[in-house]
Amino acid sequence: MILLLVAACGLVADHFGRPADPDDHEPRGFEVPKGASARSLAPALEDAGLVPSASDYVNWVRLTGEGGCIKAGRFELRPDMSAAELTAALCGPPLPEDVPFTVVEGWRIRDIDAALAAKGWIAPGEYAELAAHPERFHADFALPDHALEGYLYPETYMVVPDRWDTAAFIQRQLDLFAERFATPRAADIAASGRDLDAIVILASMVEREEPTPAKRPLVAGILWKRLDHGWNLGVDATSRYTLAEWNDRRAFLKQLRDPTDPYNTRLRPGLPPTAIGNPGLAALDAALHPEESPYWYYLHDGDKVLHPARNAAEHEANRRRYGVW
């Protein structure tokens, strides 16, 4: 008699524990809030099409005594799962909540702001407004008085969109800048005779000027030499910095003719007032450890191959040879 009763209970449990749709194998996300129980989840599971009905799932839990181990978090469930399979999944490890967000080497503050706004994580301008106030952040190195351009380390960061905090993200970027460059290179920076801000600014130009990391120390050496000898740097990338669209050629040509533009390094001496983007480690190291050479000029051909020159005559010959004007 007892065996018959147990068997009957098993059949009833199997009935209540059947899949919502045995033919639907498409996974879907399901969120379990903190403090939820198997029974309290039943209506949400029914709404999501993951159980035949809330009452069926509650009856299955009551008959089997399962579900006491359910965890909070996001899970991937399918309508073809039985109540036992579904509950076992809910008792397992939840899906990771973080997703990757990549800050590309050379991106400006405005570029990072636009990428974050496009994902819907911030209102447009929120990141840029915070990055314009270095005094709101802390670091073991001297932060610039101006905006944090150049110090917002480019990397792929794992973030939780539902708990996004713009100020915390900027602080993570500054911390990574310290971890990857400022702290391990502190002795070299001090020995270079140049301040950190100048190195960051020049590195941001090298990042935009030279696509091949192995050639960046040579470009950095040419730029430092021009700067140290009172030459105008003549880095056209600096005149693009304030443009809404980096590749807006008409606006760029107008900037090149503007002597009042503080970023016009063709017409104005010295470094620009800020970095023109956020350089990666290869560009930072190139600016810190430039390569000495006999060259004073350089250009890139149509394939972005570097061609340095020792004097103006060689540079003009390279212009004609590679059609660069």
Domains in the chain: boundaries? 2-90, 97-293
Task: Judge contact between 139 and 173, C-beta under 8 A.
Answer: no
For the cut 90, the answer to whether the pLDDT of residue 97 exceeds it is no
pLDDT value at position 95?
82
**Residues in the chain, how many?**
325
pLDDT value at position 11?
60
Measure CA 312 to chain center: 40
pLDDT value at position 74?
86
Instruction: Give which of 301, 324, 312, 292 is closest to 231, Cα–Cα.
Output: 312
Average pLDDT of the residues in 187-210: 97
Q: Burial of 118 by CB count in 10 Å (0-12 exposed, 13-18 middle, 19+ buried)?
A: exposed
Average pLDDT of the residues in 265-291: 97
Domain 2-90 carries which CATH code?
3.30.1490.480
Average pLDDT of the residues in 308-312: 97
Cα gap 48→43, rounded to integer Å: 9
For the cut 70, the answer to whether the pLDDT of residue 8 exceeds it is no
Enter the pTM of the model. Answer: 0.77
